[in-house]
Structure 1
Amino acid sequence: MKADQVLDAKGLACPMPIVKTKKKMNDLEPGQVLEIQATDKGSTADLQAWAKSTGHDYLGTETEGDVLRHFLRKSGGNTETAATVIPEISLEDFKGKVEKGEHITILDVREVDEYEEKHIPGVIHIPLGEVEKRAGELNKEDEIYVICHSGRRSEMAAQTMAKQGFKKLINVVPGMRDWTGKTE
């Protein structure tokens, strides 16, 4: 696939590929294609969800060794959609709730390999790329704490769920990157 511009995001972890992509998309004209080169395995789901939430076209991903080459086409007009404000909780306050044994619903939206490496006991795991189609597995009336690696994917997941009628969503920031509590 031919790209108009290339963004090197190799070696960067979430949320940096999205942050750099957002900035680079501002330099493109509507209809132009950006190639994002990344090594973060979670970047595929991240970029798909980000493109959908901003109105850009996710064109696909090609793999060359360890490098994922993602292609996005810039849409025309205003690409930022009106987003619901998702409340946040600090990792410290969230950890307090978990350690007190409060009965809370926790949704981990990281990729399978990240989840399998370590996760909070009792969480529900739905990778970001599956949230839109699997959100129905959760109760819309529950207060749901959404967590990822840094807080960016969980924000995107919560936005997706809010559009489906979930009203009690809380984004855990920064996420599992800094989690020091019990894990499985």
Structure 2
Amino acid sequence: MAETVLDVKGLNCPLPVLRANKALRGLAPGERLRILATDRAAVGDFQAYCRETGHDLLAWSEEAGVFSFVIRRRAADADPAPEGG
């Protein structure tokens, strides 16, 4: 399965999560989004975002100051969208 890549390097909270939310809405259930970010707060932000929305944070890593997150879009029957999202 192909991954969509979202580059939000250089953006600070809350922009990485907002852009990821928009990108995930455009994916089919089960598809994956890889997010590249440089904001250290993104680690906690994406963990909380996935907990609240039901998406799966499959992996995250950091190399040379760039954080990589892989999120799988939740199943369609896990909707509705979270408040404010």
TM-score range, shorter chain: 0.7 to 0.9
The equivalent residue for 1:59 is: 58
SS at match of 1:25: helix
- TM-score of the aligned structures, taking structure 1 as reference length: 0.42
When residues 65 and 25 of structure 1 are mapped into structure 2, their CA distance, relative to the original with a 3 A threshold, is same
Q: Distance in 1 between matches of 2:5 and 2:56?
A: 16
1:6-56 CA-partner distances (Å, limit 9, x unpaired): 000100000000110010001111111100000000101000100110110
1:91-114 CA-partner distances (Å, limit 9, x unpaired): xxxxxxxxxxxxxxxxxxxxxxxx
1:70 to partner: Cα distance:
0.6
Q: Distance in 2 between matches of 1:20 and 1:66?
A: 20
Amino acid at match of 1:76: A
Amino acid at match of 1:22: N
Amino acid at match of 1:8: D
Amino acid at match of 1:80: A
Answer with 1 or 2: which has the greater Rg: 1
SS at match of 2:11: coil
Stretches of structure 1 that go unaligned for 5 or more consecutive residues are: 86-184
The equivalent residue for 1:8 is: 7
1:62 to partner: Cα distance:
1.7
1:79 to partner: Cα distance:
4.9
Amino acid at match of 1:20: R
The equivalent residue for 1:80 is: 81
When residues 70 and 3 of structure 1 are mapped into structure 2, their CA distance, relative to the original with a 3 A threshold, is farther
Q: Distance in 2 between matches of 1:8 and 1:79?
A: 26
Q: Distance in 1 between matches of 2:43 and 2:19?
A: 15
When residues 3 and 9 of structure 1 are mapped into structure 2, their CA distance, relative to the original with a 3 A threshold, is farther
Aligned length: 82
When residues 36 and 79 of structure 1 are mapped into structure 2, their CA distance, relative to the original with a 3 A threshold, is farther
Q: Distance in 1 between matches of 2:12 and 2:73?
A: 23
Stretches of structure 2 that go unaligned for 5 or more consecutive residues are: none
The equivalent residue for 2:25 is: 26
The equivalent residue for 2:34 is: 35
Amino acid at match of 1:30: P
Q: Distance in 2 between matches of 1:60 and 1:79?
A: 24
Provide the aligned C-alpha RMSD in A.
Answer: 1.8
